[in-house]
Amino acid sequence: MSAASRERIMARVARATASRAGVPHPGALATPAADDAVDAFVKRFTSSGGEVAKADPGRPPGEWLTGFLRKLEPQVTGVAVAPDVPPELRPGLPEVAAAQAGAGVSLAWGAAADTGSLILPSTGTRAVQLLPPAHVVWVPDGRVFARLEDALRELEAELPAAVGLHSGPSKSADIGRTVVTGVHGPGRCIAVLS
Amino acid sequence: MPADMHTRIRDYASRSGEIIREDPGVREAVTGATIAFDQKRLQGYSEVDADGWRRWAEGVKSHTLTHLDRYLAGAETQLEANGAEVHWAADAAEAREIVMSLAARHSVKSVVKGKSMVTEEIDLNPALEAAGIEVYETDLGEYILQLLDEPPSHILGPAIHKSLQQVQELFTDRLGSEPGGDPDTLARAARRVLRDAFIQSDMGITGGNFLVAETGTVALIENEGNIRLTTSLPRVHVAVVGIEKLLPRMADLSGFLQLTARAATGQPIGCFVSLIQGPAAHPDDDGPEAVHVVLVDNGRTDVLAHEHAWEALRCLRCGACLNACPVYRQTGGHAYGYVYSGPIGSVLDPGLLGLHEAMPLPFASSLCGACEDACPVRIPIPEMLLEWRREAQEEGLTPWKERAALKGLASVATRPGLYRLAGKIGSRLGATGVARALPMLGEWAADRALPQPSRRTFRELWREGIE
Amino acid sequence: MRVALFVTCLADHYFAEAAADAVRLLRHLGCEVLFPADQTCCGQPAYNAGRTREAARMAKHTMEVFADSDAVVLPSGSCATMVKKFYPRLVAGGADAAAPAAVADRTSAAAELADRTFDLAEFIVHRLGVTELGNGLAGRRVAVHQGCHALRELRLETEPAVLLEGAGAEVVPWEAQEECCGFGGLFSVKMTAVSAAMADRKLDTLPEVDWVVSGDGGCVLHLDGRNRARGTGIEFVHLATALWRGVAGDAR
């Protein structure tokens, strides 16, 4: 049934497209690239409700993160940490399942400045990225791209099953046109720059 | 198409009147929400070279549509290489059957859904429910409408026609929320119900904003995170995607993600974007074990073959034309009687359903042109409405009185002597005399005072000499 | 400059005095005004209804009537749009589309007419280069409703306001200024409830003004019809009349 429909649809599409002159592809969209990608990312991400934290260079990053998570409101006791977060970036807090965690800790593949997006591969486990009320994301040094297009072009070569672009907290204005956060996904989205 | 659909579309004029008269809260809520959306779009456009972006997007979409066979085949090959299954549905019934058989094959008892116009179009929920499958709409607005058993009224904000008070009463009644809760409290009540549904459901069903041929990527844009959850937690993900949603390359996607968000809400990008290539393959990936992409025609190849209407297939479903439309603002989407409402609905529905089935939608416009200015892919909606009107006239789908009146006008207007005489008679008859002579003015007089003809025509003033 | 007035059927029969004011204004600005007597309707009612054949017949008639005119000026943005934007589209198709030579002739004639056809405000600002009209409207508070065709097809976004201010009036911002009034010709009789609700939105958001001024008679008939039915009591004035009142120092 589906196979017959495939042939039928393809034949109809081919007939329709054959009857019309082809329009050429206009090429790449020219969009501006900020000189300082990190600075541009911080501006865009925070203006969409995302938060940015700077790791203390004087302390081991995992230890810094432990302190950071303890200071979050409400205080985080159990965390869910993505498997690809290297040992030195993992907080010293009890690890629990994502659905029970006060915060999820992920490692971004990179970030895009023009859209203010964290680029999160599915290999970092999606539950960690989505279920806890706060999502804390390590952004590796030198991985902030000026433009999302540049990031996607590079990512294309190593695409995992799914990629999430997170550009701020979960929000909705479906009730009474009032913006509420944390509707389904994390209500706080925190990018950590080292 | 459900049997009562034709009747619902056909009654646009009377239904819109009913909504305006009997449910004035709809007009107030829709006007407020769409103006707010429209202002955000204007702000979002003003931050970039919107004209350049829109021309680019028009070009990419038109390129894709004029090479659609190539890109469909490419997407299919790539999705299969990624481990996803591709299914083809010629019409709504077949699309439903495909999803139902997938549900049976994967022993599905419960489904979570992301907001999707195409699943509304194919009337999927009643079919799933009839098979005893629990269905949860997870977009907050869609969830409200599911509780009310109402269709969406707007592409982007399906429940924009509902006031805060209506949602408060609904949630108190159905979810046991405290009366008079603020939006935050109400959203948390919905979140509790839906969080359990995400964790327990076996299948997630979404639409698709884009399907990238080169990589086999289904791209989904949202703000709540419900679509990311829908495509991540259940064992099976089914994406139901119209065949016009193709984009050639990943490099094109970046521009479209940004332009869609700016057109819809003025945001630089949706808070969450899901790029789905296929089922989880890596040991650390906790995503679905099966991903199915259902490619739906359901009238789209008819639109593609149409000399003028094919350009409507560029539509990104951003809702910008609805927000800009002063006609839509008076009633919201329900008056139109079909899932695609507002300006884009009035040009798309005749193509998808057949012009006869979609009458009088091409006439449900004052041709003010605000939609075309707003459209991120520059669909020439007013011109297309005129094309549909031409076809309606040729096929005799308009009232005979109207046809006769316009033929009469042309006969008089190409005979200057007769035209002058008719004008002179009109000025002597006065307002009510003219109304009696022109039956269509009766409709006008229901809501407006009759226009007063000048006592002497300009022609007479001219002859006497203008000082 | 010699100007042919294309009065349009609405102005001929419903805004005769406003059309006369347009003549007075153009003469005051140094134009010699002609009135080709065989002119009728531009064909827009048929065109908007999708009756292409009838619209094409009326377009052909109008193109013949104004074939030898220098500049054609209309006291209606909508009918000006019909001539400037829609005639070229209209005559490109048609029954004898198979005869390319005839189509090419018609198309170039339509394009040529489009180039020398103007909405009244457009003509005064861009062709005559006039924006200063004295101070006769000093103390007048006015709101401007620009018809959608003039606004979005001809992109005459500021011209009426520039002229009113140039005559001394204060143009008051209006929340719904650029929104359609709901007239749309046939639309107002086919979809009468929506059309009236659109007029209500305009009337409900109107700031306190002495006059509402528009360069489009159709919009005024509709808005004023609704205004009178509701008893709102607003005075609607055609742009030509408003400007002439200013120039003649007769700001009643």
State the alpha helices, DSSP H only, in C66-138: 77-81, 87-92, 100-115, 120-122
Distance CA B335, CA C147 (A): 26
Query: Could you tell me if residue C160 is inside a domain?
Result: yes
A33: contact with B, CB 8 A cutoff: no
Calculate how close chain B gets to A60, using CA atoms only, in Å: 26
Calculate how close chain B gets to C14, using CA atoms only, in Å: 5
Angle between helices C159-166 and C239-247 (to 10 degrees): 20
Query: Could you tell me if residue B304 is inside a domain?
Result: no
Tell me the pLDDT tens digit for each residue of B262-306.
999 999 999 999 999 999 999 999 999 999 999 999 999 999 999
Q: Which domain holds residue A145?
A: 34-193
pLDDT average, residue stretch A15-37: 95
pLDDT at B195: 96
What share of chain A has pLDDT > 90, as a percent?
Answer: 94
Q: Would the pLDDT of B46 be above 90?
A: yes
Same domain, B212 and B114: yes
Same domain, C178 and C85: no
State the alpha helices, DSSP H only, in C116-212: 120-122, 148, 159-166, 186-190, 192-204
Same domain, C119 and C156: no
| Residue B440 with chain C: CB contacts under 8 Å | 189
Same domain, C182 and C84: no
Same domain, B412 and B266: no
Which candidate from A3, A44, A169 shows the least CB-CB separation from B271?
A169
Tell me the pLDDT tens digit for each residue of A168-194.
999 999 998 899 999 999 999 999 998
Rounded to 5 degrees, what are φ and ψ at B86?
-110, 135
- How long, in residues, is chain A? 194
Query: Could you tell me if residue C93 is inside a domain?
Result: yes
Calculate how close chain A gets to B423, using CA atoms only, in Å: 47
Query: Chains with ≥3 Cβ pairs under 8 A against B?
Result: A, C
In angstroms, the Cα distances linking B7 to B149, B328, B448 are 19, 19, 28
Q: Would the pLDDT of B228 be above 80?
A: yes
Tell me the pLDDT tens digit for each residue of C141-177.
999 999 999 999 999 999 999 999 999 999 999 999 9
Classify B293 in phi/psi space as left (phi over 0), alpha (psi -120 to 50) or beta: beta
Tell if the CB–CB gap between B327 and C191 is shorter than 8 Å.
yes
User: Where is the domain boundary, C101, C127, C153?
Assistant: C127
List the single best residue of C42, C191, C200, C205 to mutate versus B (max B Cβ within 10 A): C191
Query: Could you tell me if residue C10 is inside a domain?
Result: yes
Name the average pLDDT for chain A: 96
| 3 state SS of B429 | helix
| Residue A114 with chain B: CB contacts under 8 Å | 258, 268
Query: Could you tell me if residue B306 is inside a domain?
Result: no
Same domain, B25 and B84: no
| Residue B233 with chain A: CB contacts under 8 Å | 126-127, 130
Q: For residue A164, what are the β-bridge partners?
A: A120, B274
Q: For residue B87, what are the β-bridge partners?
A: B294
Number of domains in chain A: 1
Query: Could you tell me if residue B125 is inside a domain?
Result: yes
Q: For residue C73, what are the β-bridge partners?
A: C5, C118
| Residue B407 with chain C: CB contacts under 8 Å | 51, 54
Closest CA to A144 of A43, A41, A35: A41
Which candidate from A2, A25, A186 shows the least CB-CB separation from B63?
A25
Distance CA B108, CA B104 (A): 6
Q: Which letter does DSSP use for residue C83 in this model?
A: I
Cis preceding linkage at C75, omega within 30:
no
CB contact set of B441 (below 8 Å; sequence gap of 6+): B434, B435, B450, C189
Number of domains in chain C: 2
User: Could you identify the residue written with the tokens 């009838």?
Assistant: C54
Name the average pLDDT for chain B: 95
pLDDT at B3: 45
Same domain, B410 and B359: no
**Is B touching A (3+ C-beta pairs, cut-off 8 A)?**
yes
Cα–Cα–Cα angle for A139, A143, A147, rounded to 5 degrees: 115
Instruction: Name residues 13-72 of chain B within 8 A of C (Cβ).
Output: 13, 16-17, 20-21, 27, 31
Q: Which domain holds residue B437?
A: 400-464
What share of chain B has pLDDT > 70, as a percent?
Answer: 98
Using CB atoms within 10 Å of the CB of residue B95, give its burial: 0 to 12 exposed, 13 to 18 middle, 19+ buried.
Answer: buried
pLDDT at B1: 47
Q: Would the pLDDT of A4 be above 80?
A: yes
Q: Which letter does DSSP use for residue B131 in this model?
A: T
Q: Which letter does DSSP use for residue B245 in this model?
A: G
Query: Could you tell me if residue A25 is inside a domain?
Result: no
Q: How many Cβ contacts (< 8 angstroms) between chains A and B?
A: 267
Same domain, C157 and C101: no
Q: Which domain holds residue C42?
A: 2-127
Distance CA A127, CA B69 (A): 37
Query: Chains with ≥3 Cβ pairs under 8 A against A?
Result: B
Same domain, C104 and C158: no
> Are C179 and C152 a contacting pair, CB within 8 Å?
no
Q: Checking DSSP bridges between strand C32-34 and strand C117-119, what pairing results, if any?
A: unpaired
Calculate how close chain A gets to B322, using CA atoms only, in Å: 16
pLDDT at A3: 87
Distance CA A46, CA A33 (A): 18
pLDDT at B442: 74
Query: Could you tell me if residue C132 is inside a domain?
Result: no
User: Could you identify the residue written with the tokens 């189509």?
Assistant: C103
Query: Could you tell me if residue B425 is inside a domain?
Result: yes
pLDDT at B435: 74
Same domain, B188 and B327: no
pLDDT at C252: 56
Query: Could you tell me if residue B307 is inside a domain?
Result: no
Return the percent helix, strand and coil in chain A, to nearest 5: 35, 25, 45
Same domain, B81 and B213: yes
Query: Could you tell me if residue B309 is inside a domain?
Result: no
A13: contact with B, CB 8 A cutoff: yes
Q: Would the pLDDT of B141 be above 70?
A: yes
Tell me the pLDDT tens digit for each residue of A43-96.
999 999 999 999 999 999 999 999 999 999 888 999 999 999 999 999 999 999
Tell me the pLDDT tens digit for each residue of B325-380.
999 999 999 999 999 999 999 999 999 999 999 999 999 999 999 999 999 999 99
User: Where is the domain boundary, B370, B398, B426?
Assistant: B398
Same domain, C91 and C32: yes
Which candidate from B409, B440, B466 shows the least CB-CB separation from C54?
B409
pLDDT at C95: 57
Number of domains in chain B: 3
Tell me the pLDDT tens digit for each residue of C99-150.
788 888 889 999 999 999 999 999 999 999 999 999 999 999 999 999 999 9
Query: Could you tell me if residue A16 is inside a domain?
Result: no
A138: CATH = 3.40.50.10420
Query: Could you tell me if residue B376 is inside a domain?
Result: yes
Same domain, C96 and C186: no
Query: Could you tell me if residue A27 is inside a domain?
Result: no
Tell if the CB–CB gap between C48 and B386 is shorter than 8 Å.
yes
Same domain, B241 and B376: no
Same domain, C145 and C239: yes
Query: Could you tell me if residue B237 is inside a domain?
Result: yes
Query: Could you tell me if residue C135 is inside a domain?
Result: no
Query: Could you tell me if residue A95 is inside a domain?
Result: yes
List the single best residue of A163, A171, A172, A188 to mutate versus B (max B Cβ within 10 A): A172
| 3 state SS of B404 | helix
Could you count the other beta carbons within 10 Å of the beta carbon of residue C67? 11
User: Where is the domain boundary, C105, C127, C149?
Assistant: C127
C198: CATH = 3.40.50
Tell if the CB–CB gap between A29 and B255 is shorter than 8 Å.
yes
Tell me the pLDDT tens digit for each residue of A96-106.
999 999 999 99
Tell me the pLDDT tens digit for each residue of C67-96.
999 999 999 999 999 999 999 999 887 655
DSSP output for A79-147: EEE-TTS-GGGS-SS-B--GGG-SEEEEE-SEEETTTTEEEEEGGG-HHHHHSSSEEEEEE-TT-EESS
pLDDT at C96: 58
Query: Could you tell me if residue A5 is inside a domain?
Result: no
pLDDT average, residue stretch B410-430: 88
Could you count the other beta carbons within 10 Å of the beta carbon of residue B292? 23
Same domain, C108 and C169: no
Using CB atoms within 10 Å of the CB of residue A71, give its burial: 0 to 12 exposed, 13 to 18 middle, 19+ buried.
Answer: exposed
Q: For residue A54, what are the β-bridge partners?
A: A193
Query: Chains with ≥3 Cβ pairs under 8 A against C?
Result: B
List the single best residue of B10, B368, B378 to mutate versus C (max C Cβ within 10 A): B368
Query: Could you tell me if residue A9 is inside a domain?
Result: no
Same domain, B101 and B173: yes
What is this model's ipTM? 0.97
Distance CA B204, CA B113 (A): 6
Tell if the CB–CB gap between A122 and B232 is shorter than 8 Å.
yes
